[in-house]
Amino acid sequence: MNDSKATENNDSLDNAPEHIKLAVDLIFLLESNEVDANVALKALDIVKADLQQKTST
């Protein structure tokens, strides 16, 4: 990727909604730690259920 394209992507992310920024951070964290995709999905199911419970009370 050339520098102008990288800068454009960074600018796009800077202006992205918070949930997109968080998703990108989580993807980076999982990939950089080489977490198995199936393990990550199971963990995310638990996280989602926990957050849904917390937001419904």
Q: What is the pLDDT of residues 22-52, one digit of tens each?
A: 999 999 999 999 999 999 999 999 999 999 9
Q: What is the pLDDT of residue 6?
A: 59
Q: What is the pLDDT of residue 11?
A: 82
pTM: 0.73
What's the domain range around 46?
A: 3-55
- CA-derived radius of gyration, the chain: 15
In terms of pLDDT, which residue wins out, 18 or 2?
18
* Total domain count, the chain: 1
Q: What is the pLDDT of residue 3?
A: 63
Element (H, E) at 47: helix 37-55
In terms of pLDDT, which residue wins out, 5 or 57?
57
